[in-house]
């Protein structure tokens, strides 16, 4: 009789595991969840902010309890989410109404009309006209839409402000060449204060005629916003425009379009999201963003940036299964919000 009672109790425990929310859902037995999407569009399935490696529509086994279920739609690049209690035979019917409001990120874009430095042949300057800076600013906004926002599955929305600097900005010469250091900009733009911007982007001209300011980089980023006095991301783009800035930009857009998103990722993908408990790709040459080849991605790296941003880089060394940021992280605190409230999550 005791043997029969033991079997009966086991059956009751299994039933309850898929019926109730337990204090420790990770110990619960799995329940089957069926997921549908708008129009049957294929999507990547996320549970509690982590990519599962599975697709929707379809079915998945998940421990009973409260979970955040998300689907990143593959074609429309929209993220849908539901926060719900999962029990036995749960069915989720996603609709476009399940799209969360995007988190607002703020960028300050600065074009330099004149950049000045001392070279081996003496002091000289390079220049961009306002019209040329207009073209560069359009390039930046194009990347925000096509890369930053799209790769986050539109869980972030960037608001941009532009402030060109017309007075000469003096370059600093160091081990990697000529750079525009943050104090050179913050001195001239006092509006750059903690909590004002998520990232500052500075665009300047590398060479013009006989004046040249070479450096061993195209874009450069400061990798830990929270230790900077302005507590914001900071990026500079050193652009060799040649005789036709429009032609140069169109060439980059067609063949190597990732400079803006690459440098911005350095500002959030080296320390910022790690400090919030996320698992990012391992560092190569000192930087996670430079680890593309370690994870077998190829030039021009756009799939790498997509998977890095969306949290779908396959982990070759263990747990968790996938690395990166992910849509749920972008719906939480931004850089500027963290600058104001260090405990912001």
pLDDT of 18 above 50: no
Q: Mean pLDDT across the stretch 91-105?
A: 97
For the chain, give every residue range classified as CATH 3.40.390. Answer: 101-345
pLDDT digits (tens, 9 = 90+) for 129-160: 999 999 999 999 999 999 999 999 999 999 99
Alpha carbons 297 and 273: distance in angstroms, whole number = 22
pLDDT digits (tens, 9 = 90+) for 118-127: 998 899 999 9
Nearest CA to 232 out of 343, 121, 337 is that of 337
Q: Mean pLDDT across the stretch 61-80?
A: 96
Least confidently predicted of 27-36, 274-283, 325-334: 27-36
pLDDT number for residue 9: 32
> Looking only at Cα atoms, what is the longest distance across the chain?
99
pLDDT number for residue 48: 97
Top pLDDT among 258 and 344 is at 258
Alpha carbons 253 and 1: distance in angstroms, whole number = 76
pLDDT of 171 above 50: yes
Name the percent of the chain lying above pLDDT 70: 92
Alpha-carbon distance values, 322 to 289, 308, 316 (Å): 15, 10, 9
Q: Mean pLDDT across the stretch 198-205?
A: 98
pLDDT of 22 above 80: no
> pTM of the prediction?
0.90
Tell me the CATH number of domain 15-98, given options 3.40.50, 3.30.1490, 1.10.3470, 2.60.40: 2.60.40
Contact 196, 234 (CB under 8 A): no
Least confidently predicted of 28-37, 40-49, 71-80, 296-305: 28-37
- Bridge partners of 6, per DSSP, are none
Q: What is the DSSP letter of 334?
A: -
Q: Mean pLDDT across the stretch 183-211?
A: 97
pLDDT number for residue 343: 85
Per-chain mean pLDDT for the chain: 92
Give the torsion sign (CA, 65, 66, 68, 70): positive
pLDDT of 44 above 60: yes
SS3 300: coil
Q: Which two tokens stand for residue 196?
A: 């004002």
Q: Mean pLDDT across the stretch 162-167?
A: 98
Top pLDDT among 240 and 27 is at 240
Tell me the CATH number of domain 101-345, given options 3.40.50, 3.30.70, 3.40.390, 3.30.310: 3.40.390
pLDDT number for residue 28: 57
End-to-end CA distance of the chain: 54
pLDDT number for residue 278: 97
Helices marked H in 196-301 — which ranges? 245-255, 259-269
For the chain, give every residue range classified as CATH 2.60.40. Answer: 15-98
């Amino acid at each position: 009789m005791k043997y029969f009672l033991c079997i009966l109790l086991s059956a009751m425990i299994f039933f309850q595991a898929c019926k109730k929310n337990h204090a420790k859902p990770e110990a619960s037995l799995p329940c089957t969840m069926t997921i549908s999407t708008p129009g049957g569009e294929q999507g990547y399935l996320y549970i509690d902010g982590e990519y599962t490696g599975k697709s929707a529509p379809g079915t998945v086994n998940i421990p009973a309890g409260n979970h955040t279920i998300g689907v990143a739609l593959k074609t429309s690049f929209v993220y849908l989410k539901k926060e719900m209690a999962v029990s036995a035979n749960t069915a989720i019917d996603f609709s476009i109404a399940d799209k969360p409001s995007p988190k607002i990120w703020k960028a300050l874009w600065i074009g330099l009309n004149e950049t000045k430095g001392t070279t081996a042949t003496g002091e000289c300057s390079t220049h961009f006209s306002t019209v040329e800076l207009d073209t560069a600013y359009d390039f930046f906004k194009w990347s925000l839409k096509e890369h930053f926002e799209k790769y986050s599955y539109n869980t972030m929305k960037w608001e941009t402000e532009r402030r060109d600097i017309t007075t000469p900005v003096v370059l600093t010469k160091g081990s990697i060449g000529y750079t525009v250091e943050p104090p050179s900009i913050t001195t001239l733009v006092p509006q750059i204060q903690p909590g004002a911007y998520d990232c500052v982007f500075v665009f300047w001209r590398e060479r013009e005629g006989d004046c040249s300011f070479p450096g061993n980089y195209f874009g450069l980023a400061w990798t830990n916003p929270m230790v900077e006095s302005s507590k914001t991301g900071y990026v500079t783009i050193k652009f060799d425009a040649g005789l036709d800035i429009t032609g140069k930009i169109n060439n980059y857009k067609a063949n190597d379009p990732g400079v803006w998103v690459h440098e911005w990722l350095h500002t959030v993908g080296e320390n910022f999201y790690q400090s919030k408990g996320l698992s990012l790709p391992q560092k190569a040459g000192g930087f996670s963003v430079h680890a593309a080849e370690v994870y077998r991605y190829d030039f021009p790296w756009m799939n790498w940036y997509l998977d890095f941003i969306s949290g779908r880089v396959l982990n070759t060394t263990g747990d968790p299964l996938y690395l990166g940021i992910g849509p749920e992280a972008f719906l939480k605190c931004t850089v500027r919000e963290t600058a104001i409230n260090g405990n912001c999550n």
